[in-house]
Amino acid sequence: MPAVSAGPEIERLIALLARLPGLGPRSARRAALFLIKKRELLMAPLAAALTAAIETIQVCRVCGNIDSQNPCTICTDPQRDPSVILVVADVGDLWALERAHALKARYHVLGGTLSPLDGIGPDDLTIDALIKRAHDPAVREVILALNATVDGQSTAHYITDLLHDTEVKVTRLAHGVPVGGELDYLDEGTLAAAIRSRTPF
């Protein structure tokens, strides 16, 4: 137990900050001190933003995205192509794809990937809801934008099997050479996947 050097309010702030991803106890102390020094400029607006988030943020009942409206902004956006569902494991992946501006599609957030080792089975994810959505005649394609890991790929196979009897085209992200990547630096698995997924020039 480290020696306590500040009042309980500050210790509690540090302890809570230390639970954020990427912040250990040392950087939590630094962040807490920074917040305290910037009490008016940063700490008060942050506290207000957190309160507003607690009061308004909810999980979209259609796609599983998080937003302050339900159904979410993406599900209600008339500019989005309703025939394509982009399936992601987590909201962070949805944000990453949105940042890439690659496709104006709708999403489906699974809430994770199948992982027998961690005890995560199909009932722990929103796979049932996805299969129901995919049966809508307006849906033509389901893109499985899942991690290129064992769990991600076994989840992709599981979903593909469940969509076997539908007219929906099931696709997945290409695996291969990253943009700006040099072949000499790639691992063998990525290089082999890139060769297998080669496309006409």
Query: Mask of contacts with Zn ion, 91-110, x by CB under 5 A?
Result: --------------------
Minimum distance between the CB of residue 128 and Zn ion, rounded to whole angstroms?
A: 16
What are the helix (H) ranges across 121-187? 127-134, 150-162
Q: Which residues contact 105 (CB under 8 A, 6 or more apart)?
A: 80, 81, 84, 85, 86, 143
Q: Are 102 and 159 in contact (CB under 8 A)?
A: no
Residue whose CB is less far from Zn ion, 35 or 60: 60
Minimum distance between the CB of residue 173 and Zn ion, rounded to whole angstroms?
A: 21
Is there binding between residue 31 and Zn ion (CB under 5 A)? no
Considering only 13, 32, 75, 170, the residue that binds Zn ion (CB under 5 A) is 75
Please classify residue 121 by burial: count the beta carbons closer than 10 Å to its beta carbon, then call 0-12 exposed, 13-18 middle and 19+ buried.
exposed
Is there binding between residue 139 and Zn ion (CB under 5 A)? no
Which stretch, 23-31, 40-48, 68-76, 147-155, contacts Zn ion (CB under 5 A)? 68-76
Is there binding between residue 88 and Zn ion (CB under 5 A)? no
Residue whose CB is less far from Zn ion, 72 or 144: 72
Residue whose CB is less far from Zn ion, 80 or 175: 80
Q: What does the alpha-carbon distance between residue 190 and residue 75 come to, in Å, rounded to a whole number?
A: 34
Is there binding between residue 113 and Zn ion (CB under 5 A)? no
Which stretch, 28-36, 69-77, 114-122, 139-147, contacts Zn ion (CB under 5 A)? 69-77
Considering only 72, 84, 110, 156, the residue that binds Zn ion (CB under 5 A) is 72
Please classify residue 114 by burial: count the beta carbons closer than 10 Å to its beta carbon, then call 0-12 exposed, 13-18 middle and 19+ buried.
buried
Q: What does the alpha-carbon distance between residue 177 and residue 192 come to, in Å, rounded to a whole number?
A: 10
Please state the separation of Cα 201 from the chain's center in Å. 32
Considering only 13, 28, 32, 60, the residue that binds Zn ion (CB under 5 A) is 60
Q: Are 71 and 107 in contact (CB under 8 A)?
A: no
Considering only 18, 36, 62, 131, the residue that binds Zn ion (CB under 5 A) is 62
Q: Which helix (H) or strand (E) holds 27?
A: helix 25-37
The binding site for Zn ion (CB under 5 A) comprises 60, 62-63, 65, 71-72, 75
